[in-house]
Amino acid sequence: MKQLKFCSFSTFFIVLIHVLVCLSASLVSTEGFDSLLELPHSGSNRTRSKSKRVIFVGDFGAKGDGFKDDTEISGTIVAPKDPDVWKGLNRRRWLYFNRVNHLTVQGGGTINGMGQEWWSRSCKINTTNAITFHKCKNLKVQNLRVVNSQQMHIAFTNCLRVVISNLEVIAPAESPNTDGIHISASRGVEVKNSIVGTGDDCISIVGNSSLIRIRNFACGPGHGISIGSLGKSNSSVRIHDIMVYGALISNTQNGVRIKTWQGGSGSATNIQFLDVLMKNVSNPIIIDQYYCDSPVPCANQTSAVKVENITFIHIKGTSATEEAIKFACSDDSPCEGLFLEDVQLVSHSGGIAKSFCWEAYGSSVGQVEPPPCFACSEGLIQQKAPSNLAFQSF
């Protein structure tokens, strides 16, 4: 990364960089940062009981005046290869930014999570995300390459007004739980001009998020662009005003997906998928209200997150499976207000593509292939996309 820019308001503040890893003294220069910040591998000297170093950027000439580019980092940041190095530390955090306002993270370097050893253990508990932004406001993340994270690559939790652009996020298709960009309980987030290919969701949006825009986005391999999962452990959630427009999704398990657990409550509403090209995607369009990511079967429950006012317009391409459109909705709380226009999905192998519907209610306009299978037709539903003004109003 070339620049890590910290901007202040009317008062001066000091930003602490917590490097939650084992750093030997030889890796930290008293006169500046190394061009390659590499953390020790297994077998390094780890005699100290606490393995945390706090660096005050002010000691290196940083000025929080809102104008000076305080820190310049180039090259590659590399995580420990051996998971045992993290013993005694918070494994949920590696590069962690907490409650920072007007932060810009940019550059051209690479952040390498060295996740191969973590993937073989395939455990979601106590696994590290490469980068986490928590409760940050007016945030920009751009021109970065993030590879092989231990779990999620970049997570945004409880953030407000975020612009994410020109990112490349890469991990093998078989790497578990390696979501590319994860957005949780955040509002006013724009993702644009980026490429993500991992072993899980390219983008996942969960936990009371709203006003999210994704445009000019390439996804694959991975599990597609997902809203959810929502409602796990009988939780309540509200997701609304999400727009995806201008996306290429190729060689993925899913295309555009909404997934909810049985037993949840709340709603997922006003979600639009526009101008999406699918190439060899197993489930190009899918709403799954019976999602169960568990080693044992999930119990049947009647309550569900309400899914309504969902739009699919100009969705074209090839399906790797027979079911190109799948709406598996809740018996207790059916999907309503589904709308299809100019959808053309054909079988990648040359067979016949089909639609599946269960408790799904909506309408279509123009050519839709495969033909929709709604339980009944509804009047045309006019939906409003979040505008630029809406993003600036909170």
Nearest to residue 288, comparing CAs of 319, 315, 261, 324? 261
Q: In what order do the strands lie in the sheet with 181-184?
A: 95-98, 131-134, 154-157, 181-184, 203-206, 225-230, 254-260, 283-288, 323-328, 354-358
| Span 50-102, pLDDT tens digits | 444 555 556 656 666 655 554 444 678 888 888 777 776 776 778 999 999 99
Number of H helices and E strands in the chain, helices first, is 2, 26
Structure tokens at 196: 């993500």
Contact 200, 230 (CB under 8 A): no
For residue 263, the Cα-to-chain-centroid distance in whole angstroms is: 24
Q: Which residues are catalytic?
A: 223
- Is the backbone peptide bond immediately before 8 cis, with ω within 30 degrees of 0? no
Distance of alpha carbon 307 from alpha carbon 341, whole angstroms: 19
**pLDDT tens readout for residues 7-24:** 333 322 223 333 322 222
The pair of three-digit structure tokens given for residue 62, joined into one six-digit string: 């940083």
CA 301 to chain centre: 28
Tell whether the model's pLDDT for residue 46 goes beyond 90. Answer: no
What lies within 8 Å, CB to CB, of 130 at 6+ separation is 79, 94, 95, 111, 113, 146, 149, 150, 152, 153, 154
Q: What is the DSSP letter of 233?
A: G
**What pTM value is reported for the model?**
0.80
pLDDT at 321 over 60: yes
Q: How many residues does the chain have?
A: 394
Domain ranges of the chain: 213-394
- Identify the bridge partners of residue 259 per DSSP, sorted by sequence position: 288
CATH T-level assignment (fold) for domain 213-394: Pectate Lyase C-like (2.160.20)
Looking at residue 45, its pLDDT comes to: 36
Which SS3 state, helix, strand or coil, does residue 189 take? strand
Q: Is 378 left (phi over 0), alpha (psi -120 to 50) or beta?
A: beta
Of residues 36 and 88, the one with the higher pLDDT is 88
Q: How far apart are CA 386 and CA 250, in angstroms?
A: 27
